[in-house]
Amino acid sequence: MGEPRRPDRVAESIREQVATFLAEGAKDPRIRGFVTVTAVEMTRDLRHANVFVSVMGDEAAIKATFEGLGSVASHLRSMLGKTLRLRNAPEIHFKADESIAHASRIEQLLAQIRTDRDAVATEAVDAAVDDAAGNSDAAAGEDTGPPDSLQANT
């Protein structure tokens, strides 16, 4: 019953081939910036492949890159059919992978929390030092006898 694993094997082969193609053979000038193939999901019948890519750059570069990827999809499909010797080459659908940007945002938020926590801790230490300094000044200048209420009763 090795059939359920076949889409995973084909997906991994497609991921490697697409990454190699984008690194070496993509001639479309719209494909620019740092493009990384992060994952490929195949349908069980191997007719469709969702290729997840991460593109670094500004919005205009990302949009242009996805337009370029869309235009090379048919060429890539025929190349994959020949290279992987598939009876039916899968249709290629490029999708944006936001996981890297999402991870970067989480890392930024964690760094901000650490900075805020350190600032609060520093303020607490400063307040404790000020309180200690204030108490020692008051103790040095005043009589340490019993309170007035106790002195009246004696």
Q: Are residues 115 and 61 in the same domain?
A: no
Range of the domain at 128: 99-135
Same domain for 118 and 56, yes or no, is: no
Instruction: Verify that 91 and 17 share a domain, yes or no.
Output: yes
pLDDT in tens, 67-98: 888 888 888 888 888 888 888 889 999 998 87
Whole-number Å distance between alpha carbons of 18 and 92: 10
What burial letters (b/e) apply to 68-97, b meaning 16+ CB within 10 Å? bbeebbeebeebbeeeeeeeebbebebeeb
DSSP state of 67: H
State the CATH number of the domain containing residue 38.
3.30.300.20
Kindly report the pTM of this predicted structure: 0.61
Structure tokens at 65: 């890159």
Q: Give the total number of structural domains in the chain.
A: 2
Residue 42 inside a domain? The answer is yes
Whether 8 is covered by a domain: the verdict is yes
The pLDDT value recorded for residue 132 is 76
Sheet of strand 34-42, all strands in order from the earlier edge strand to the far edge: 34-42, 48-56, 91-96
